[in-house]
Chain A
Amino acid sequence: MSAAEEIVTEAPAVEAVPKRAMTLGYGTSLIVLAALIVIPLFVKNFIIFQMTMLLIYALAVMALNILTGGSGQFSLGQSAFYAVGAYTSAILMEHAGMNYALTLPIAGIVCFAFGFLFGQPALRLSGVYLALATFALATAMPQLLKLGYFEEWTGGVQGLVVTKPDAPFGLPLSQDMWLYYFTLVISIAIYVASVNLLRSRSGRAFMAIRDNEIAASAMGVDVALYKTLAFGVSAGITGVAGGLGAIAVQFVAPDGYTIQLAISLFLGMVVGGVGWLPGSIVGSAFIIFVPNIAESFSKGLSGAVFGVLLFLVIFLVPHGARQIAIIAQQTMAKFKKN
């Protein structure tokens, strides 16, 4: 019985993932990194833009993955954190004239605080109830952004237009290419930090809570603190992704951050493999490109085609990209033996 099958038969809500299995080996990481660095040099600006969005959504998916895969808490409210990050960046850039790069840490901090605070009441909830509470947050957010009180800053329903930054120091890069590499550097930094976080004492505490809350507290883990911390970290990373998204898309409006986005991110996490951080980029690719593929089959039925594709993925590889990676690894091992 393969490892994958074993997991399928058990099928708990969030199954235990050993921490080493949460990352990629060095060789594979380097190959992926090299591809991400080299490909943009040979493609059109439009593709570069899509790759930038790929990285941004991958960040947001990874943030959810830390929360769900790491600490075992569900969230359907990531779109709210993403929106707060996007609006923080947009407002600081357009109203305060701040440099775009400086707005990102602020977006991250604001969202961390927001997530940490939201984590407090959420402590009392678990499983589906927590999912519902965060769902409420996601549905409320677009309407809060439309509120008249904030309209002076948020632009209300009309949204805010954001200026796209040029490459600094007179570098001979197009705006798209500069933004891509800028996003890439930030994504790698956050990815490395997240991997280290999960390997650290805090990460072990997250996982202990995920696997068995009572046992964790018996071992001296401050369950309340680490649960809210996981929410904060996840929201903070999502906020940075939101800020980057606002700069890349050059526009923020309440309609861009509906529950649809939260569900997409959730979908991305499941397709990428819950608890497997490198899967985030696969999940992100799924939520960006599969709707386009579905549309090319049939305009009127794009939703249905998307549903069928999603169903196939969940049915055939319920553990997403991680399962495929495991299978690939096993086949490789067999070849080596022969």
Chain B
Amino acid sequence: MPAIHLRLGAFSAALALLALTASPSAAQKKYDTGASDTEIKIGNIMPYSGPASAYGVIGKTEDAFFRMINAEGGINGRKINFISYDDAYTPPKTVEQARKLVESDEVLLIFNSLGTPPNSAIQKYMNQKKVPQLFVATGATKWNDPKDFPWTMGWQPNYQSETQIYAKYILKNLPNAKIAVLYQNDDYGKDYLKGLKDGLGKQAASMIVAEDAYEVTEPTIDSHIVRLKASGADVFVNITTPKFAAQAIKKNAELGWKPLHFLNNVSASIGSVMKPAGFENAQGIISSQYLKDPTDPQWKNDPGMVALNQFLDKYYPDADRADASVMYAYTVAQGLVHVLKACGDDLTRANVMKQAASIHDLTLGGLLPGIKVNTSPTDFAPLSQLQLVRFKGQTWERFGDILSSDVGG
């Protein structure tokens, strides 16, 4: 019996194919591997296990988001088949998974693969194969390089541009500042540090009086804070991930050290940093943002936030709403949907890159008012605007203009 079914299936498939090629409308439809009349295959690589597994939430949120898109009828009638693999944040495994996605699962593109080392490992391969490596989930500066890597595109504002903005602010408002920097000893921390030094320019050597790095494996960074305080600095640039950021804010208060505190946006979450550190200790901290913070009460009735909550309630009810990764994934998934919609019936890899490189003033529900997605054939950094914010009471207060700073790779 199964054999007959199989035959029948094959026969009807052949018939359908015949009908397709015969109909005139089919002539305008163009597909590369991974796309068809009914389906678009999207690949994704995430660290679901290993040291960076906290970011696995991004993959889960995206999966939930595409389930919602499919339930609502898909994109131009095509369902998204989201295939996400685990690479445990190890580059050799990333290469294996990327090759599996491209050569075995035959996806149209790889979307939002996470981490600087994993993405570096597959960048050359993806460009050789001419498969889009779209909206990579890393803030490194090198993804904006359309000339050498026309098939790779970043997404979020890169780390260097953020600290350059702080540097500009310091130079303008506190020209005699003595700066102490604490950073995480990896690519993320060093990229931030480079941005700060580049932004300060010639004055970097004289203005930065203390520089201290910590390892992500350290249980606490208290001793680093004590050392930085001893340097007598009056500006503190805090380049740390959430757990350490909260420790730093708390320790500052304990020691009675009250410099002007710049906190990188990686840790600008109210729910996971400011609240545990104590609101009274966090007053006056300056940071920058491009996404709305779901734990910030000022967005409670915001339409974008309401939409996010409706989506989470229905498709990902156990999501931790205080986790900034959820908002991040929601926004970047919307970005992909925008690109695929713009592709229309021409779902070739070349057209995907073409549409991704011609986004003009796109606004998304999760972005702060005034921040827009913009790309061009020479600008592969979709988000490059940030808004300075200052912590007041229990929420971030935006101040100044929207600042932009594009740094090429």
Contact = CB atoms under 8 A, between A and B. Distances in A.
B124 interface: yes
A253 B86 contact: no
Interface in B42-83: 48-51, 56, 59-60
A260 B95 contact: no
Interface of B: 48-51, 56, 59-60, 84-86, 88-92, 95-96, 99-100, 102-104, 116-118, 120-121, 123-125, 142, 185-187, 190, 215
A50 interface: yes
A158 B187 contact: yes
B96 A256 contact: no
Given A157-B190, A256-B91, A295-B85, A249 B60 contact: no
Interface stretch (A212-220, A224-232, A296-304): A296-304
A157 B187 contact: yes
A330 B104 CA distance: 39
A47 B100 CA distance: 8
Contacts of A156: 187, 190
Given A146-B186, A157-B186, A250-B124, A46 B95 contact: no
6 contacts: A45-B99, A159-B117, A159-B121, A250-B124, A256-B91, A291-B88
Contacts of A118: none
B86 A250 contact: no
Contacts of A252: 91
A99 interface: no
B83 to A, nearest CB: 11
A295 B59 CA distance: 14
Given A158-B117, A255-B117, 17 more contacts: A44-B103, A46-B99, A50-B96, A156-B190, A157-B117, A157-B190, A161-B124, A250-B125, A251-B91, A251-B121, A252-B91, A253-B121, A255-B90, A256-B90, A288-B96, A299-B48, A303-B49
Nearest to A245: B92
A93 to B, nearest CB: 14
Interface of A: 44-47, 49-50, 53, 143, 146, 156-159, 161, 245, 249-256, 258, 260-261, 288, 291, 295, 299-300, 302-303
B86 A295 contact: yes
A295 to B, nearest CB: 5
Contacts of B92: 53, 245, 249, 251, 256
Given A53-B96, A299-B56, A46 B104 contact: yes
A158 B124 contact: no
Contacts of B88: 260, 291
A302 B48 contact: yes
Given A146-B186, A299-B56, A249 B95 contact: yes
B91 A255 contact: yes
Contact of B90 (A260, A288, A295): A260
A131 B331 CA distance: 47
Residue of B91, B123, B186, B215 contacting most chain A CB atoms (<10 Å): B91
A260 B49 CA distance: 11
A323 B190 CA distance: 50
A238 to B, nearest CB: 15
Nearest to A49: B99
Nearest to B118: A255
Contact of B103 (A45, A250, A255, A288): A45
Contacts of B187: 156-158
Q: Ordered nearest first, which 7 A-B pairs have the shortest CB separation?
A: A46-B103, A157-B187, A251-B121, A253-B117, A256-B91, A255-B117, A249-B92
A161 B102 CA distance: 20
A156 B185 CA distance: 11
B119 to A, nearest CB: 10
Nearest to A256: B91
A255 B96 contact: no
A287 B95 CA distance: 16
Contact of B91 (A49, A143, A249): A249
A301 to B, nearest CB: 9
A159 B91 contact: yes
Contacts of A159: 91, 117, 120-121
Contacts of A258: 51, 90
A3 B50 CA distance: 38
Contacts of B185: 143, 146
A46 B142 CA distance: 27
A254 B187 CA distance: 11
A252 B92 CA distance: 8
Given A146-B185, A255-B90, A249 B50 contact: no
A255 B99 contact: no
B116 A291 contact: no
Given A299-B56, A299-B60, A300-B48, A249 B99 contact: no
A287 to B, nearest CB: 11
A260 B84 contact: no
Given A251-B95, A299-B60, A260 B50 contact: yes
Nearest to B217: A139
Contacts of A146: 185-186
A253 B87 CA distance: 14
Contacts of A291: 49, 86, 88
